[in-house]
Structure 1
Amino acid sequence: MLASGDQHAYKAIFEHYWDPVYSTALLLTKSPDLAEDIAQDIFTMVWEKRSGMGGVEKFEGFLFVAARNMIYTRLRKLASGDAYRQHILHFFREQDETWANGRAEFKELESTILEAIQQLPPQQQKAFKLSRFEGMRHEDIAVTMGVSRITIKSYIVQAIATLRKTLDNHPSGVLITYWIFFFLETWD
């Protein structure tokens, strides 16, 4: 059912496997924030690749291998994160003489991002905005919206997947990558 895009099947899988995936990530990373981020990324990946999930025979095993691989990748990125940030800063410093064009491009990017957020279903949009713009924790959003914490996590995972897909096609590749890396990936 997930492979055919059934959101109820996705929600059932999400609710059933969230805690074990999160616990595994927490055990390996020793960081609640990083573990939650990784668990969200796993479920975002499941939703994005749902059409290929019909061939997965041992779904639980698939999730834990994916989580393990993502954890190792994330830890490697964290180790080289400062180098990446320095590279991005250096790139933008080199672009100073064309910054006027860059500012216009950035304003266009901001407008594209806000339009993409406005296209999200109302509940996903509200949960995403409360999380990313208001800095609210999932538990607080759940209370505010009157739904479970797991439902909020599901809304945010689906919102991130939709935004990534929408923004992947934007001509401002470097700025989009920068925005996704620092905005979508690092906030809980």
Structure 2
Amino acid sequence: MQKIPHSASEPELLRLIAAGDQHAYRLIFERYWDAVYSTALLLTKSAALAEDIAQDVFTVLWEKRAGLGEVSRLEGFLFITARNLVYTRFRKLASSQEYRQYILHCFPDTAGAGADEKAELKELEQTILRTIQQLPPQQQKAFRLSRFQGMRHEEIATAMGVSRITIKSYIVQAIAALRKALANHPSEALILLWALSFLQ
């Protein structure tokens, strides 16, 4: 097998990976690992979680290698994959208690916060829960199924007997209500990543 030079172009490497070339895959891994890891770290604020996400990104890359010939920008593909994996992880947090524990462990500024900062975080959580509880019943149900149970829009639409577009509308409106309620907490934007995540 002919050795692939490290200077090989991205389209050539993608073509080779699509054909199952593991050496080309390793070159892409080496070329983009730091960028993918940095993106995941920026989104999660957790080195351990960022490493897990980065590994998952490259697992997805290999599993979907057959379609890589259609990818025009690998960097964009990797970023979107990392972002979606992070958001999926957040959506699978089953309860506010689990989410609180995640925040305390993964966000250093919060974990080391004093009594005033922790009181502010508690107030923020209460604002989130109160806002969700005040949503119209259908919006609230759709939002909870999406963000608390990790269900996709298609699954929620089937469960609720409405269209996918209707579900997306419910969640957009719910997020708009949360943004309005949290307008006085701009510094806490990352804490709300689970609620304001990319809509599928």
Tell me which protein shows more helix as a share of its residues. Answer: 1
For normalisation by structure 1, the TM-score amounts to 0.47
Q: Determine which structure has more spread, i.e. the larger CA radius of gyration.
A: 2
Q: Which has the higher contact order (CA 8 A, sep 6+)?
A: 1
For normalisation by structure 2, the TM-score amounts to 0.44
